[in-house]
Every structure is written in C-alpha cells, then in structure tokens.
A and B are shown apart, each in its own frame.
Chain A
Amino acid sequence: MPARLLALRQIGKLFGSNRVLEGVSLDLNEGEVHILAGENGAGKSTLIKILAGIHTEYEGAIELRGRPVRFAGPRDANRAGISVIHQELSLIDAMSLVDNIHLGRESALHGGLWLDRKGQAGRALELCRQLDLDFTAADLARPVEQFPLSTKNLIEIAKALAFDARILVMDEPTSALSRAEVERLFALVDALKRRGCGILYITHKMDEIYQLADRITVLRDGRWVGTAPAAECPESRLIQWMIGRDLAPQSGPRPDAAGGGTAGRVLEVRGLRVPHPLPGRPPAISDFSIAVNAGEIVGIAGLQGSGGAELFQGLFGAYGAVCGGSVRMDGSPFRPESPARSIRRGLSYLTADRKASGLVPAMSVEHNVTLASLSRVSPGGVLRPGRERAGAARQVEALGIRLASLEQAVGTLSGGNQQKVVLAKWLETLPKVLLLEEPTRGVDIGSKSEIHSLMRQWTSAGMAILLISSELPELLLLSDRILALHRGAVTAEFARGEATPERILAAAMGSAARASEGCA
C-alpha cells in the first residue's frame, strides 16, 4: 500500500453568494497519477487554487501525510512541496529563464542579501538536462518571452521541479503542446511517478486520461461524483459521471456543402503573403490561396509555428495593411487593413487565447457580447440599452450560456461559458466568414460538443468557417476539406473522404518529415 501524500476532506467554497464547491473529498498517493475530471465550471480550478494556497478561505481541511495544514498563501503551499502548473502560465515574460525557474525561492549568498547567480544558473542547466530540454547557458539567460508557448510550458514544469515538489498539480498542461512535446511530457510524468511524486492531473482529453490515469475522480457542479481506479472506469461511465447524462451521439459525416461552383463563393484568397510579426524573419505565410463557399467548413491543420495563427491575423487585418496577394469577399476586392474594416465586411476572427485577446474580464457579459457590433446598437454614437440588451440576451439564449445575469462580470464565468461569450461577440457581428482558432481549447466535453453543433448550425445558415485546431479528431469531424499548412505554405489539400490523421500529419510536417521538432 503506497503512502498517502495528500487528503482533501469535505472542501467547500463560496464566492460571494455563489457556491462553487461543496463537500469535495479526494486523496493522492505516492507514485500515483490521479486524474481530476469534470466539465468546465465543475469546480476543478477552484479546488486546485485552494490546494495551491491561492484561495485561503474555504470549508473543510487539507492533510499532508496525515497532518492537517492550512496555507496562508502560494509560498506556503510551495514550501510544503505542492507545485501547480496552471492553465495560464505563471512565468514573468521579461525575466530570464533562470530567474523564472528560481522565482520565489532564490538562493542567496552572504547572509541572504546577494543573489547566487552562478549557482542558480548551474542548477537550472542541470534541471533542464534532466528534463531533456536542450538549452544552452545563453538560452537560460534570455527572457522567456522569446520562447514559444510550448517551450514555456516545459519551463513551467522545470520551475515546479526546482521547488522539489512532491505533489504536482497539472491543469491541462498539454493544451498548447505539439504531439512530440506531449510525448515528452508524458515521459516526464512517468519519471516523476517513479520518483514517488503524486500527480493531480486535470484534462479534457480522453486519450490522455486513459494513457496516464491510475485513478480518476469526477466533479460535477462543485460536488464530488465518484472516484475509481482507471481500469474500473470505462469511458462511457466517465462521461456519464461528468455530464449526468449520455452525450448525444456525434453526428456522422456532413453532407457536402454548397458544391464546387463559384455561385456561393464568399472568400477567395490568392497568393496571400503575411510578413512575420517580428522584424527580420521570413514571412509567416509565404503563399496561401483558397476559395471558400458559403456553408463550408475548411479545416487548417498545422503544427505549432506553421503559421496558422498569423494567417488568420493577417487576413483579419490585425497586423494592419501589410499583406501581399489578393483577397475577394463576396466577389468584390477586399484589402485586409484593420479589424474594424474586416468586421464591417463580414469577416470575424476568434483568437486562440480568450483571456489575452478575447474577453474584457472587467466588463459584463452583455457589454462583451456587443463589443464588436457596437455601431448596430448605438446609432449616432448613442447607446440604446434596449437594443443592446436584446441582442446580448438573444445570443446568450442561442448559445446556451449559463449565467446568473447579463450584468455579471464575464471574468466570473467558467471557461466553457467564457468561450461561448467570445463566440457570441463574433456572431453578433453577423459574419459571412468566421475564422476560428482553437474554438474549443480549454473547454469541457459538454460545451465542446455544443460548440460543434452550433458551428454546423451556423454553416447550414450560410456562414463559411475557416477552422484551426490542434486536435485532429476535431478537424476531421467538422471539416468539409482540410488544408495542411507547413512553414507558411499549403502542402496538401484533402477532401472529406481522403483525410486521415496519418496523411494530414505527414503533410503538416512537410515533405521531409522529421519526427522531432526543435524546442527553442
């Protein structure tokens, strides 16, 4: 019987008048991966924040190795050997990799005043070597903002390990990782298990759950639903626990959209060239052409750094009027210049990062929903509260957003509902073409399938969608055809019938496919 590292007993939490957790109990053993599952809004993040010492007011008790503890803050939890890798990374962009790894636990010389820079650099290098991260000493001195998101994720884990963590909490650590990086992360998780760490792991991905789990605990609506060894908890039971009902069967292949004619053509791109946002780099998109018909979903497959995000940004005019090539919308020429112009022409763009570039957290749900279509609810520059409210209420209803009131600050909603608010904002602009980048990232299974069926609903009403998703099953499920993007150029196009994960992946990795990608 392995030793018990951690026990949570009857944890409860209120936010104002809002109960988000009630009587949740859970334990974690040495050398165990314990999956914490549940839809967004089930209370997983809150539970973790309590464990991490971020929320200090809660009901119930936490025991570490049988001793009751109560953390006064994140530092306390860290000292006790708990490290949390949050969904939103906690790295400080402008600081170097070494300093980030040691943040909050700097080693000092001469009675604690002088920073031991040399010692820290050495330890960081050693740590990265253990993790198989091939950083040079010079890399370690660079600010983390110069690394891609996927690398930051690994740096975050290195940081946790630098704290000698015995209990590691990972909140959807793979959501921004490429396949090779996911494999590396899983190998790391295995190594940690062997060292006797306990890992509490949150994920929405089925394959990850069954690849990693020793035990699974499910929360729903802030309550504990069940705990079971992974072997005794098949997928069907897990899903039933999570949503309290059976998922509607996912619809089969879509009927072919609009056909191949030019009659319903809403977007035509020829030879689009998007410069790299950082100066002195080769263009992010060198040559991109596509013709999209009304009612079509075109999937774009690409690994990290293939240029998908830059393609959308450029097409949407987010970089300004810098793109080369020609674009036609609805048959007339269109020059990407600014978001405002694109929105007016019926082109909208959902970014992958709703926190950084989707939501205005301090504003209400209503004001977020109408933000991109304010001119419609404010003729002459004067807001018409009635119109605004009606528009927001209609979208909230149509998208099934669960909230207490339209005046609620959007930051207080769960991830899935926040994502729907951003989608609602773009729908309010009445787009003809919708660019969706990772529309279901960090979203629970229930909301995910709801978003999928919404997308089908919109396209059958004549909207065209360009979809970027790092999840191949999602691309395969939704797309009428799929383009593979590699280093800023299209390497292959697959019709619905011909697309298989293997073929797409091979094309997305380029003709001279290499199994590993550099990480810096």
Chain B
Amino acid sequence: MRPPVARRWLATPSFRALLALAFVVVLGCVFNADGAFFHWSTHRDMLRQVSVYGILACGMTLVIISGGIDLSVGSVVGLCAVLFARQTLHQGESAAVALGLVIAAGTAIGLASGTLVARFRVQPFVATLAMMVFARGLAKWISGGQKISQAIQQPDGSFAYEDLPAIFQRIDRRILWGNLSVVTLVFLGCVLVSWVVLAKLRYGRYLYATGGNEEAARLSGVPIARTKLLAYGLSGLFGAVAGICQAAQEQQGDPEAGSTYELTAIAIAVIGGNNLMGGRGGIGLTLLGALTIGYLEKILSINAVGESSRLMLTGAIIVAAVLLQRRGNA
C-alpha cells in the first residue's frame, strides 16, 4: 500500500518550502491593505527589496551545505559599499576598475575566513564572527566613520557635491518598461551561478559530501580544505556583489550598511529548508526562502505595522513557517 500522493509530496523539501511561501502569500491575500497586495508594483518592489538579502543567502547556502556558517557577510556588505562609493565618488575611478577592486576585496575577506576554517580549523562560527567584527572595523577605517556620499567636505568646512557616477544609476534602475529591477536581475544571476555550482559542477558535489560526512569525503579523495576555502570565498564574493547593490540603492557608502543582514540571509536559507547541519539543501530552496521572507516584510510594511510589532511578528512567522515545513518530516 502506498501512502496518498499528498503525503509523499509533503516529504520533499521543495514542496514544504513552497508550502511556507504559500502560507505567507495567503497571509498577504487576507491582509491585503485595501487591495495593495494585488498590485503588480507591490510584488516588483518586494523583489527589489529582497534582492540584496537574497544575494547574500546564495553564498550562505553554499557555506551551509558545506557544513559551515558565514556571519561575516553583513560586514562585507558594509565594507564593500564603502569601498565602492569611495573608489567611484572620491577617487573618481572608472566603474570597471572599482567593481573589480571591490569584488576582489569581498572575496579576500571570504578567503580569509575560509583559511581560518579550512587551514587552521577554527570553528566556522568563531572564525566568521571574528571576520564580521574585523570587516566592520575596516569599513569604518576606510570611511573615517562617515557615510561616503556625493557631498564631499572641503578643507574649509563647506561641502562640494560630486555628480553621481552613471554606474549607480545603472545598477539601481528598472528595465523591461519598469517591471524588473537590475538588482533583482543580479540576484537571479547569483541564484543561477549557485545552481550551476551545486548541481552541475564536481565542486558542488564536493560541498555536499564535505557537509554530509567530512571523514568519508576526505577518504574518498575530496579536497576538504580547498572545498571549504572556496565556499567562504564565494560567500565573500556574493557579499561584495550585495555591497555594490546596496551602495547603488542608497547612493552612498554607509559603513553601517548591512548590519544584521547575515541573520536575514541565514533566515532565508533556513526558512527555505536548508539544513544547518550541512550536506542537504539546494539553491531552489533558498530562492523560495527569499520570496517567503520578502513577502513577509512587504505584507507587514504595506499594512503599516510599527517596527516593534513587525520584528515580533517576523520572528513568530518564521517559527510558524519552519514548523509547518517540519510536519510530515517526523
């Protein structure tokens, strides 16, 4: 006797992630703020707003599948936003050079965490916690603790205004007749890259094996250290991409940018159904998780829920969605 189809479906992680998403969407339909939830612009804006988090969640997913965690990505966003603003606004570097430099910097931070984890066997939580603090400090040092914006203070105390370089506008605009933000496109690109890595490359299999049973993987010839190193490096790279998008959206480099973003990225990965123990999960789950968190935030904001209630509700709804996923898994 086979159990009913619904039961078997319920056992697949992607279906359960869909269920959590559906749960939040239903919430949106009920609390639709006088029909605001049914406007296309709401969905478009949701996608735009969740993109930076989603980009971070892609890197986070790779690290989580390898059995680790990366707490430093929020600070990487701040560092890279500052760096990007400084290079383009103050130093007047060309966009291409600045992009390359910033991405290299983010990747370097990730590789540093990775070296601590893979080479020196520091626990991922501790290594990336240290890197989180360090990178935030670096962001403040580079920026002198100030937001780096178009307004540049002159020696005499007055402000001169720089023109905003075109690259900011190019990243923070909509294409397809205003229907799709470029940052959303960047997010989807990151999802695609992560999918190729996880599903199509030998390296992706290494990630799953390392997170699933490190000793068995090692004895099977999997280069454990390199696999972990690269996972954190990629997470840093995605962090840099997110930092650039953040700077473009804010039109400045704020050294405080990205604080607590790492927690949202983890929440996205987890609510999608990626297992924090490692070895299981996928980028599709993370995409569903990003939509779930995105809708959640959007629904609370269109209903003008105050911040204190919003935070409490977000916490409660994350727990509800995760518990909902568990059912049938017992």
Contacts and interface: CB of A to CB of B under 8 A. Distances in A.
A339 B205 contact: no
A253 B7 CA distance: 53
Contacts of B209: 360, 363, 367, 371
Interface stretch (A264-272, A378-386, A500-508): A378-386
Interface residues of A, number: 32
Contact of B8 (A17, A359, A362): A17
A349 interface: yes
A356 B201 contact: no
B202 A357 contact: no
A360 B221 contact: no
B220 A372 contact: yes
A338 B224 CA distance: 11
B215 A374 contact: no
B180 to A, nearest CB: 30
A29 interface: no
Nearest to B4: A17
A356 B209 CA distance: 13
A16 interface: yes
B11 interface: yes
Nearest to B280: A362
Contacts of B137: none
Main secondary structure on B side of the interface with A: helix
A375 interface: yes
B279 A375 contact: no
Contacts of B41: none
B186 interface: no
B213, B216, B222: residue with the most chain A Cβ atoms closer than 10 Å: B216
B218 A362 contact: no
B220 A383 contact: no
Interface string B173-212: 0000000000000000000000000001111111011001
B62 to A, nearest CB: 16
Contact of B279 (A340, A356, A357, A363): A363
A356 B218 CA distance: 12
A359 B216 contact: yes
Contacts of B213: 356-357, 359-361
B217 interface: yes
B3 interface: yes
B219 interface: yes
B100 interface: no
A318 interface: yes
Contacts of B315: none
B201 A381 contact: yes
Contacts of B200: 382-383
A515 B202 CA distance: 52
Given A363-B208, A378-B205, 6 more contacts: A340-B222, A351-B219, A360-B216, A361-B212, A362-B280, A371-B217
> What 4 A-B pairs come out closest when comparing CB atoms?
A340-B221, A360-B212, A372-B220, A378-B202
